[in-house]
Amino acid sequence: MTDGLNMSRRIRRTPYTDRVEQVGVRGFSVVNHMLLPKAFQSTIEEDYWHLREHVQVWDVSCQRQVQITGLDAERLVQSMTPRSIAKAKVGDCYYIPIVDQQGGMINDPVMLKIADDQFWLSIADSDVLLYAMGLAIGANLDVEIAEPDVSPLAVQGPKAEDLMVSVFGEGIRDVGFFKYARFEFKGTQQVIARSGYSRQGGFEIYLDDGLLGHDLWDTIWEAGQTFNITPGCPNLIERIEGGLFSYGNEMTRENNPLELGLEKFCTLDGSIDFIGQRALQVIDAKGVDRSIRGLQFDGPRAPTCSVPWPVTVGGHQVGQITSCIWSPRLETNVGLSFIDRGYWDIGQNIQIEMPDNQICRGEIVALPML
C-alpha cells in the first residue's frame, strides 16, 4: 500500500542506520522521533525461528534515555512511578510504569540507576523528557534533564551470551538479569545490561557516543559470524507469545498498571509519594474492570492489526485485540487483548471479529504461551 516512510531530519537516523541499510533493511517504524528497523530480507517467521535458536543484533536506538541528574533526581523519578525505587542500587535496572494523575500509563521505561543522583529512563514511545521537565520546572526541583547521546544496541537470542563474551570478555557472564555493568570498548567504558525486548535472553549495549556506532556494529557483526548472527528487530510473534506489551499498542493513557498485571510494581500503601497514587488506590480497592490476556484463535492467518478488533462472548463485546499474528510454532493465531471481568479466565471461549466480517473462534490462554 505504501512506497515507504518519507525520510526527513525530523525522523532521526541512528548511529547504526547506515549499517542497517547495508544489511538490507526493508522497512522502518518510528519511535521517539527516530527510525526503528522493522523488516529485513527474511520473513517475520524466519526471524522468529532464528531468534529462538541463534543470535540477532537489533538497532534499538529509539529507546532514548531521559537522563535526570541532581539533588532532587531520585525524588522526581519516584514521583513519576508507583514502583518504589528506594532500594535501587547503582547497577540496577528497574521496569517502571509511569502514570498520570488518573493512574493512566504515560510510558513504561526501564530505569537504570547510574549514580545516587543520576538516573536514565530508557523509554517507550512518548516524550517522557518533556513530562519530567514540566514536573521539574513546575515544582522548582534541583535537577538537570537531558537526552544524552546514548543509543542502545540489543544482542538477543540464546547465543547472545557467548557472542558478547567473545567481544567483551568473561565478565559478561556475571551480569545478572536486569543488572548492568561497564565494559571497555575502544578505550571507552560502556553500560551493558542483561535485558531486551525478547524472552530469548540477551543484552543491551547503551552506547554512549554515536560516533562509535559503526565500530560497535561492525565488531558485533564480525564476532557474530561464528554464531550465525543476523540483523533483526523486536519480533511480533515472539513478543506476543512472551507476553511482552508495547506502549501505544497494548496500553495507552486509557490503561492503568493494575489492569496490565503490573501490581507487583505498584506500592500503594502510602509509603512512597507518586503522582496518581490516590487514583490507583481507588482502582485497587474496587478491583479492576478488565485485565490483559493472551488469546489464541483459528481461522486464516491474521493480517496486521492496526485497528483493534472486537472480542466477543455470546455476541457481547468483552475486549479488543491490539496486537496479533500467526504463530508458526503454535500453528494458530496469537494475540493480546484486555478482557472484561467475568470473561477473563484461562480457557474462556471467545470470538474475534476480524475485518470483512470474518468471525474466528478462540480461547483465552496463559501468558507467556509455552
Point out the annotated binding site for substrate: 204
Query: What is the full DSSP assignment across 241-263?
Result: HTT---BTTTB-TT--TTTTT-G
The residue among 210, 191, 158, 232 whose CA lies nearest residue 16 is 210
Q: How many other C-beta atoms lie within 10 A of the C-beta of residue 337?
A: 27
* Closer residue to its own copies (CB): 224 or 234: 234
CB of 242 to its own copies, least distance (A): 17
Letters for 115-134 (x = contact with its own copies by CB under 8 A, - = none) are ----------xxxx-xxxxx
Alpha-carbon distance of 321 to 311, in angstroms, equals 7
Per CB under 8 A, 136 contacts its own copies: yes
Q: Which stretch binds its own copies (CB under 8 A): 99-107, 111-119, 208-216, 326-334?
A: 99-107
How many residues of this chain bind its own copies (CB under 8 A)?
A: 53
Alpha-carbon distance of 73 to 299, in angstroms, equals 51
Per CB under 8 A, 174 contacts its own copies: no
Per CB under 8 A, 71 contacts its own copies: no
- In what side-by-side order are the strands of the sheet with 180-185? 180-185, 188-193, 202-208, 150-156, 56-59, 230-232
Contact between 294 and 364 under an 8 Å Cβ cutoff? The reply is yes
Q: Which residues are annotated as a binding site?
A: 204
Question: Which residue's C-alpha cell is 513478543?
Answer: 239
CB of 128 to its own copies, least distance (A): 7
Per CB under 8 A, 28 contacts its own copies: yes
* Closer residue to its own copies (CB): 1 or 370: 1
Q: Which stretch binds its own copies (CB under 8 A): 60-68, 136-144, 208-216, 290-298?
A: 136-144
Judged by CB under 8 A, the residue of 22, 43, 101, 226 near its own copies is 101
Per CB under 8 A, 211 contacts its own copies: no
CB of 39 to its own copies, least distance (A): 6
C-alpha cell at 324: 496479533
* Closer residue to its own copies (CB): 6 or 225: 6
CB of 22 to its own copies, least distance (A): 11
Alpha-carbon distance of 28 to 68, in angstroms, equals 29
Q: How many other C-beta atoms lie within 10 A of the C-beta of residue 174?
A: 9
Per CB under 8 A, 273 contacts its own copies: no
Q: Phi and psi of 64, rounded to 5°?
A: -70, 150
Judged by CB under 8 A, the residue of 33, 173, 316, 361 near its own copies is 33
Helix H or strand E encompassing 128: helix 128-139
Judged by CB under 8 A, the residue of 85, 111, 164, 275 near its own copies is 275
* Closer residue to its own copies (CB): 9 or 89: 9
Judged by CB under 8 A, the residue of 55, 68, 106, 112 near its own copies is 106
Q: Are strands 332-340 and 316-327 parallel, antiparallel or unpaired?
A: antiparallel
Per CB under 8 A, 304 contacts its own copies: yes
Per CB under 8 A, 308 contacts its own copies: yes
CB of 272 to its own copies, least distance (A): 16
Judged by CB under 8 A, the residue of 13, 182, 199, 214 near its own copies is 13
Burial of 306: CB neighbours in 10 Å, binned 0-12, 13-18, 19+ = exposed
Judged by CB under 8 A, the residue of 65, 67, 322, 333 near its own copies is 322
Per CB under 8 A, 214 contacts its own copies: no
Give the angle subtended at the CA of 29 by the CAs of 26 and 35, to the nearest 5°: 90
b vs e for 24-48, b when ≥16 Cβ sit within 10 Å of the residue's Cβ?
Answer: ebeebeebbebbbbbbbebebeebb
The residue among 155, 151, 188 whose CA lies nearest residue 58 is 155
Q: Which stretch binds its own copies (CB under 8 A): 185-193, 198-206, 218-226, 246-254?
A: 246-254
- Which residues would be at the binding site for its own copies (CB under 8 A)? 1-11, 13, 21, 25-30, 33, 38-39, 100-101, 106, 125-128, 130-141, 246-249, 275, 304-308, 322-323
